[in-house]
């Protein structure tokens, strides 16, 4: 199995990527989405998920049935604070809040096979308003998943990391205060919402 991970600047791009993955036959149980709560909370039908419940069962409860996006929930992930999320990766990352030793979002990504430098940038991108989509696929299907996800114009983690470093950022710090975008940033994030 291989994990394919991409981050999108808008929730609508990420949502389209999830839809494409599901349409291509990738099981909802093998797809995850994590979005900054300011981007999507007003626009999605989101259920509140407690810390313990999130760690124990969000992967099964969020993402089964009628497709991944039908089961979005609001939960806290260490270093990101409240996010709108669904799927196996969200459950793993939230598990750190419930006592698991995964190391939050970066640890969950690294454990899933994502390069550490990319995991740091992806996590920081979520903190700053992005939406991450991950898919667990058979090695033979990885190229197809990557092509599908690339269609929706994900960020380049190398370029985005360089942009962040120009402002003094070095690496994702899950102990840093939760990023709270100002109203202008929230408006910019929501402007790309389909709806």
The confidence score (pLDDT) of residue 97 equals: 43
Q: What are phi and psi of 32, to 5 degrees?
A: -135, 155
Weakest mean pLDDT among 26-40, 86-100, 117-131:
86-100
Average pLDDT over residues 10-17: 90
Q: Return the axis-axis angle of helices 11-23 and 142-150, rounded to nearest 10°.
A: 140
- Give the confidence band of 186 by pLDDT, cuts at 50, 70, 90: low
**Hey, which residues does 137 pair with through a beta bridge?**
2
Average pLDDT over residues 77-104: 66
Higher pLDDT, 64 or 112: 112
3-state helix, strand, coil in the chain (%, to 5): 50, 15, 35
The confidence score (pLDDT) of residue 31 equals: 94
Mean pLDDT of the chain: 76
Average pLDDT over residues 156-172: 95
Average pLDDT over residues 60-71: 47
**Hey, which residues does 132 pair with through a beta bridge?**
7, 34
The confidence score (pLDDT) of residue 95 equals: 60
Whether this model's pTM surpasses 0.75 = yes
The confidence score (pLDDT) of residue 27 equals: 93
CA–CA dist 48, 165 (Å, integer): 34
The confidence score (pLDDT) of residue 83 equals: 79
- Judged against a pLDDT cut of 90, whether residue 170 lies above it is answered with yes
């Amino acid at each position: 199995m291989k994990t394919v991970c991409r981050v999108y600047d808008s929730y609508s791009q990420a949502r389209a990527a999830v839809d494409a993955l599901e349409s291509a036959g990738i099981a909802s149980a093998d797809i995850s989405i994590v979005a900054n709560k300011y981007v999507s909370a007003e626009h999605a039908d989101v259920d509140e998920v407690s810390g313990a419940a999130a760690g124990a069962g969000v992967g099964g409860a969020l993402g089964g049935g009628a497709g991944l996006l039908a089961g979005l929930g609001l939960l806290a992930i260490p270093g990101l604070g409240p996010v709108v999320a669904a799927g196996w990766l969200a459950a793993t990352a939230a598990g750190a809040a419930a006592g698991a030793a995964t190391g939050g979002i970066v640890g969950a990504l690294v454990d899933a096979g994502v390069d550490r430098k990319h995991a740091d940038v992806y996590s920081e991108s979520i903190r700053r308003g992005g939406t991450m989509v991950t898919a667990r696929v058979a090695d033979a299907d990885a190229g197809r998943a990557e092509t599908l996800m690339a269609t929706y114009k994900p960020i380049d983690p190398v370029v985005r990391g360089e942009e962040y470093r120009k402002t003094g950022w070095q690496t994702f710090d899950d102990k840093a205060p939760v990023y709270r975008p100002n109203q202008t940033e929230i408006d910019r994030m929501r402007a790309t919402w389909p709806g």
